[in-house]
Structure 1
Amino acid sequence: MMVDSVTGNDSVTATGIYTTQPTRVPKQSLDGEAFMNLLVTQLRNQDPSSPMDTNQMISQTTQLAMMEKLTNMDSTNQENFALQMRMAAANLVGHTVSYIDKDGATKTGLASSVSYEGSVPVVTVGDQKINLDSISGVVTPAPATTV
């Protein structure tokens, strides 16, 4: 193995599989685990002669619990909104809907089906696939008359 006399690096390490350092992608948000790690680190590194104030510790654990509950509420709200969009789209089937097409013209047609494949439900009107948030109006179908 060749060793460079100036730098002390061997040629195997310089050209081997470890030429690029692995990169670590930092978290973009603080979660409950991050706060718990901070609290545990704070407890480990506290001065034994003057420990952390009990009120301060209770305050921090309360903040952690509140943050976790708010995070759970946020995800529940997102799930509820997605469910409401699905229900609204399903209720459009059989109704006449108005929408603005890609040319900017207002079109009207009968909603025949709904697809939930994407993040926003897609309503089929004739041969067009229309995102639910692009529908601008709905007309209730006339009641069927019996003869």
Structure 2
Amino acid sequence: MAVDPVSGSSDTAAASGIYVTQPTRTPSQSLDSEAFMKLLVTQLQNQDPSSPLDTNQMIAQTTQLAMMEKMTSMDSTNTENFALQMRMAAANLVGHTVNYLDKDGATKSGLATSVSYEGSVPVVTVGDQKIPLDSISGVVSPAPATTV
């Protein structure tokens, strides 16, 4: 069985290696729990043995981490709640006459017949127009049915 020779030139290996261009690292702009834990481990590894880390300070830092994680969780929950409220508000418009601003800035009105949730903002169909929920400026309740 024949074996192909391996070139020993590092320039050739660098040019034909995995990376044609050097990979770039984009730094994170936020501190998450992973970054906090890395900082804490680094702090523990590099502490002075003659003056160890104060346990009260470590507990305070751990508490701050837990609070940060809870606040992040609350933020995502609030975002989800807001999206749900927008969907419910848009669904409640169906069958009502709504006022909205058209592209020219003129106020128009029409009957809301359906709602689409495809985008980040629900879109209400009024006649042949697709109106984003945040462009609707007013709602008129349907007239009660009269019986004679």
The question of whether the paired residues in 2 share the 8 Å contact of 1:98 and 1:138 is answered with: yes
* Alpha-carbon offset, residue 2 of structure 1: 9.3
Aligned residue in 2 for 1:37: 38
> For 1:111, what is the secondary structure of its paired residue?
strand
Structure 2 match to 1:97: 98
Matches of 1:119 and 1:80, distance apart in 2: 13
Distance 2:108 2:51 in 1: 73
Q: In 2, distance between residues paired with 1:63 and 1:84?
A: 31
Residue 106 of structure 1 is matched in structure 2 by 107
Farther off after superposition, 125-134 or 47-56: 47-56
The alpha carbon displacement at 1:24 in A equals 1.7
TM-score by length of 1: 0.89
Provide the C-alpha distance between the structure 2 equivalents of 1:98 and 1:112, rounded to a whole number of angstroms: 13
Provide the C-alpha distance between the structure 2 equivalents of 1:14 and 1:40, rounded to a whole number of angstroms.
35
Q: Which runs of 4+ in 1 moved over 3 A?
A: none
Deviation at 1:104, TM superposition (A): 1.2
Structure 2 residue runs without a partner (length 5+): 1-6
1:1-147 matches, cutoff 5 A: 10=11, 12-13=12-13, 15-17=15-17, 18-147=19-148
Name the SS for the 1:28 alignment partner: coil
Q: How has the CA–CA distance of structure 1 residues 22 and 111 changed in structure 2, closer, same or farther, with 3 Å as cutoff?
A: same
Distance 2:94 2:53 in 1: 62
Shift of 1:15: 3.4
CA distance in 1 between partners of 2:118 and 2:75 (Å)? 23
Query: In structure 2, what is the equivalent of residue 6 of structure 1?
Result: none
The offset of 1:26, in angstroms, is 1.9
What is the aligned-residue identity percentage? 82
| Paired residue type of 1:13 | A
**What is the rounded CA distance, in whole Å, between the counterparts of 1:65 and 1:123 in structure 2?**
41
When the two chains are superposed, the root-mean-square deviation of aligned CA atoms in Å is 1.6
5+ unaligned residues in a row in structure 1: which ranges?
4-8
State the secondary structure of the residue aligned to 1:136: strand
3-state SS of paired residue (1:98): strand
Q: Secondary structure at the match of 2:142?
A: coil
8 Å contact kept, 1:13–1:19: no
Number of aligned residue pairs: 141
Deviations 1:70-92, CA, capped at 9 Å, x for gaps: 00110011001000000000000
